Amino acid sequence: MGVSASAVKELRERTGAGMLDCKNVLVEVDGDMDKAIDLLREKGLAKAAKKSGRIASEGLVRVRLAPDGKKAGIIEVNIETDFASKNEEFIGFVDTLSCMTVDTAAKTLDEFLAAKYGGGAETVQETLTNFIAKIGENVSVRRFTTLAEPGVVYVGYLHLGGKIGVVIGLRTEASQEEVATLGKDVAMQVASMNPQFVDESGVDPDYIEKEKEILVKQALAEGKPAEIVEKMVLGRLKKELKETCLLEQKFVKDSDLTVAQYVSDAVKALGKDVKVVSMARYEVGEGIEKKEENFAEEVAKQMAQ
């Protein structure tokens, strides 16, 4: 079958593989993007899966917590240029939306856009449309998450002024104030190392099987003897899980400890049980193609308006 240029472009951006390689595998898998990514990895043509989301669009991530820390919200709002992302009106718009994420009943982005903006008469979508007309740049409310699990206290962290936002969920009877330092340290770890899972128990079994299959094909393609491939793959998989599971990672503030060991030490000092049970991490522009503009062009564009 034929494949579109946009599909080839998307696959190249998500994997870093060559244009021709991307086209060939898309043809081979009848245009299935996920299968194409797996096939490129099996062939050794794709870069690490961790690089699949390219930082692109500008904007802000904001984290908002309820006063007692028992509810939290995180949101990403995109805008065309970094220059405009520093606009006070844009910052205020994002801050208002972040306040809404804590208490909203919306489960989908469409429902969120249909909600009343800041409790006023206009919906979020109507306010957004008017704001776009006023500022002269496209603005998009890309995603949000509301977290409110019984027995869980949330701690938030913003990195680089809102380029990365993290919320950590801690199951504990301790107050938000008591776990603030622990939560922030773990959130900084998530911001820095971008783990995919809290621990191995949270890893989807289908993900494990899929990774095993890919690693087996990679090992066989490298010419490794079939009789040692399984043992080799288990070792590689264990190493990969240590990199992708938060609690298994080396703690960025003390590489002699894993995150799990750091949490254990902090719990002993606190005298109250604390368990890391959830996390949410947003990074501005993940997976969106960046429109190349230099600062001078941004300023000229703003002056022209």
Q: Helices marked H in the chain — which ranges?
A: 5-15, 19-28, 33-42, 82-85, 88-103, 109-114, 124-135, 180-193, 205-221, 226-244, 259-270, 295-304
CA distances to 22, 124, 209, 210, 233 from 206, rounded to whole Å, are 25, 38, 5, 6, 16
pLDDT tens series, the chain, 305 aa:
578 888 888 887 777 677 788 888 899 999 998 888 888 777 765 543 333 333 337 999 999 999 999 999 999 999 988 888 999 999 999 999 999 999 999 999 999 999 999 989 999 999 988 887 777 778 899 999 999 999 999 999 999 999 999 999 999 999 999 999 999 999 999 999 999 999 988 888 888 888 888 888 888 888 888 778 878 888 888 888 888 899 999 999 999 999 999 999 999 999 999 999 999 999 998 877 665 555 455 545 544 54
What is the reported pLDDT for 260? Answer: 97
CA distances to 258, 260, 269, 283 from 247, rounded to whole Å, are 7, 5, 18, 20
Spatial neighbors of 286 by CB under 8 A, at least 6 apart, are 53, 54, 55, 56
- Taking only the tens place, the pLDDT of each residue in 136-146 is 778 899 999 99
| Helix/strand/coil for 79 | strand
Q: How many residues does the chain have?
A: 305
What is the reported pLDDT for 22? Answer: 85
Helix axes 205-221, 226-244, angle to 10 degrees: 130
CATH 3.40.50.720 matches 58-198+277-304: no
What is the reported pLDDT for 279? Answer: 97
Identical fold at 1-52 and 58-198+277-304? no
Q: Where are the domains of the chain?
A: 1-52, 58-198+277-304
What is the reported pLDDT for 289? Answer: 63
* Whether the predicted model's global pTM rises above the 0.75 cut: no
Write down the architecture of domain 1-52 according to CATH.
Orthogonal Bundle (1.10)
The answer to whether 73 and 104 are in contact (CB under 8 A) is yes
What is the reported pLDDT for 53? Answer: 36
